[in-house]
Amino acid sequence: MTISATPAIEVRGVTKRFGTVTALDQVSFSIQSGEMFFLLGPSGCGKTTLLRILAGLETPDAGQVFFRGEDVASLPPHERGAPMVFQNYALWPHLNVRENVAFGLVERSVSRNEQKARVDDVLRRVGLETMGGRMPGQLSGGQQQRVVLARALVLNPFLILLDEPLSNLDAKLRVEMREEIEKLREATDITFVYVTHDQADALSLADRMVVMSAGRVNAVGTPLDLYTRPPTPFCAEFLGEANLIPAEGIGSSAVNTPLGRWRVAAPGLEGGKSGHCMVRPESLFPVTASRSGENVFTAEIRGLRMNGATVTVALDAGGLVLKATVLTQDSFGLRKGIQIPWGIAVDNTIPIPAEPGGGSGSRP
Partner 1 sequence: MKPRHLSTLLILLVLGVFLVWPVGHVFVRSIQDEGGFTLHYVKGLFTNPAQMEAVGASFLIAVCVTASCLLVALPLAWLFARRSFAGKAVWSALLLLPMILPPFVSAVGMRMIFSRAGALSTLLMQMGWVDGPVDWFGRFPFAGIVLLETLHLFPILYLNLVAAFANIDPSLEEAAVNLGATPGRVFRRVTLPLAMPGVFAGMVLVFIWSFTELGTPLVFGVRRVLPVMIYDSVAEIGTNPAGYAQVAFVLVVSMAGFWISKQILARQRSVATLGRLSLGRREVPLSRRGTLLVTVALLVLLGLAVLPHLSVTLLAVSRRWFLTVLPQGWTLEFFGRALNDELTRNALLNSLGLSLCATVLDVLIGFGIAWLCVRGRIRGADWLDALAMLPLAVPGLVIAFGYIGCFSGAFPNTIMDPRFNPVILLSVSYAIRRLPYMVRAAHAGLEQVSVSYEEAAANLGATPLRVVWRVTLPLILANLLAGGILCFSFSMLEVSDSLILAQAEEFFPITKAIYVLQDGLENGLNVASAMGVWAMALLGAGILLATSLMGKRIGQMFRAG
CB of 3 to partner 1, least distance (A): 28
- Which one of the spans 104-112, 175-183, 190-198, 333-341 is the region binding partner 1 (CB under 8 A)? 104-112
Give the x-and-dash track for 161-180 against partner 1 (CB under 8 A).
-------x------------
Nearer to partner 1, 168 or 360 (CB): 168
Give the interface size with partner 1 as a residue count (CB under 8 A).
Answer: 34
Q: Binding residue for partner 1 (CB under 8 A) from 63, 136, 165, 231?
A: 136
Q: Binding residue for partner 1 (CB under 8 A) from 66, 103, 158, 285?
A: 103
- Which one of the spans 54-62, 233-241, 267-275, 331-339 is the region binding partner 1 (CB under 8 A)? 54-62
Q: How many angstroms separate the CA atoms of 2 and 249, rounded?
A: 38
CB of 142 to partner 1, least distance (A): 13
Among residue numbers 107 through 126, which ones bind partner 1 (CB under 8 A)?
A: 107-108
Give the x-and-dash track for 68-97 against partner 1 (CB under 8 A).
--------xxxxxxxxx-xxxxxxxxx---
Nearer to partner 1, 103 or 285 (CB): 103
C-beta separation of 187 from 122 below 8 A:
no
CB of 147 to partner 1, least distance (A): 11
Nearer to partner 1, 149 or 220 (CB): 149
CB of 164 to partner 1, least distance (A): 11
Q: State the residues that interact with partner 1 by CB under 8 A.
A: 55-57, 76-84, 86-94, 103-104, 106-108, 135-137, 144, 151-152, 155, 168
